[in-house]
Amino acid sequence: MSMVYIVDDEALIAADVVDLVGSVGLAAQAFGAGREFLEAFNPSAPGCVVLDLRLPDIGGLDILREFERRGYKTPVILLTGHADVDSAVLAMKIGAADVIQKPFNRQLLLDRILQLLRRDEARHTRSASDGEIKGRRNRLSQREREVLSLVSAGHSTRQIANELGITATTVAIHRNNLMRKMEAESLADLLRMAMICEFSNGVDAGGHADAPAAPAGSSQPRRPH
């Protein structure tokens, strides 16, 4: 469930934003201090943060820096009651999605919250989808992974057969099996999945480091089918 976090030590403003987002059926939590918010914040669920620049313990800019340090991607709207251009510019540089000055236009703030929530919900959906695809690839056999890698590299059935030392018919069987296991509806769909999960930072989705390329002109021994 998506959550709107309001972090503001002015109780009336915090209550106003809670009522504002509640009017469109959104869940909200209000905090009067930065550390209290950081302890309760859940980055694993979609959300949006409405954050005051000035707080009694740690300020809005410090919280933005902490989000950056922890790798949190949840969008943050920074509220400021001061015409502080330098702070606004710095806030955007260190990750704020928007800076809105107090007193704010309620409809403008609500529209921005809704926009950022939709964006964060889409990000979480993509992340879950990517994780599911990687999980499917982890269930492939070693030979199916080899076929997938060669298919995604653009090799034909005959080229794959020659590369792996197996028949074209066997290649077709492996390809059909991996299409079924990956739940791919087409070759294009399979290639999209391969781009997502086949190699990540030099490590494949099964947790194995990529093998170093063979020197030019060398031949790789055939593995028996």
- Residue 58: DSSP 8-state: S
Q: Do domains 3-131 and 139-204 have the same CATH topology?
A: no
Q: What single-letter amino acid sits at 63?
A: I
Confidence of residue 114 (pLDDT cuts 50, 70, 90): very high
Q: Is the pLDDT of residue 215 over 60?
A: no
d(CA 212, CA 220): 12
pLDDT tens digits, one per residue of 14-33: 999 999 999 999 999 999 99
What distance lies between CA 94 and its chain's CA centroid? 18
Task: Report the CATH fold assignment for 3-131.
Answer: Rossmann fold (3.40.50)
Tokens of 68: 């950056």
Q: What single-letter amino acid sits at 116?
A: L
pLDDT tens digits, one per residue of 163-184: 999 999 999 999 888 888 888 7
Which one is predicted more confidently, 216 or 107? 107
CATH code matching the domain that covers 139-204, chosen among 1.10.3720.10, 3.90.190.20, 1.10.3210.50, 1.10.10.10: 1.10.10.10
Tokens of 69: 């340090």
Alpha helices, DSSP H, located in the chain: 11-22, 34-40, 60-70, 85-93, 106-138, 142-152, 157-164, 168-182, 187-197
Structural domain boundaries of the chain? 3-131, 139-204
Tokens of 140: 């492939």
Q: What is the pLDDT of residue 31?
A: 97
Q: What is the pLDDT of residue 127?
A: 66
Q: What is the pLDDT of residue 50?
A: 97
Q: Smallest Cα–Cα separation from 48: which of 26, 70, 32?
A: 26
Core vs surface per residue 73-106: b (16+ CB within 10 A) or e: ebbbbbbbeeeeeebbebbeeebbbbbbeeebee
Q: Is the pLDDT of residue 137 over 50?
A: yes
Average pLDDT over residues 71-92: 87
